[in-house]
Structure 1
């Protein structure tokens, strides 16, 4: 296998483990469901709760949010950064995306600056 597949080949121990599982009449190699805690704490309810916490108290840190909500620090970071697209700036939580009003204001200011520059490019320096 190593000669045919190169670096992409499976380890012998992995192949032996799979062969043993199939001999025991297993039909797939996925893990069996486990009892206990759910797979993730990233539910819509938790996402909404954390969003409200951040918007009400923007100076909260990740540990305070995790302790208050009862969710692990890693899940809180995942919700903030990946689910809600929020990052910490100057000790405050802010949305990374601008609102349509902010985008419009930025467009107007950029156009004004461009027209000033085009009128006299050396006055800017």
Structure 2
């Protein structure tokens, strides 16, 4: 792949699944992990997986793993920053922009950390420190 395909924005839209399939295909062809990684970096640039990740995927292929999907992980999925919760926080703030995270949390039935995550990550509200 290196040298054949130039790195461009059109080639950087590969999903994680796509990259795993490319890695699997290359490993079946007999390429080693470092060669596969160089090819991925040539096409994907900074969006390429690390060499350690490529080694792990190549090892999985060599051990006969056919499934390239992510394994389910234990725990709750992160849904605190979903559109519904962002709307709840915005509605709560529409009454009074000076509410604390605890007040919003009580009003919206969301955890305080979820409220804080919505405020800082999704709404880009920065905490202002008094001097």
More strand by share: 1
Q: TM-score range by the shorter chain?
A: 0.3 to 0.5
Higher Cα radius of gyration:
1
Q: Bigger relative contact order, structure 1 or 2, given CA contacts below 8 A and separation 6+?
A: 2
Q: What is the TM-score when the length of structure 2 is the normalising length?
A: 0.42
Q: What is the TM-score when the length of structure 1 is the normalising length?
A: 0.44
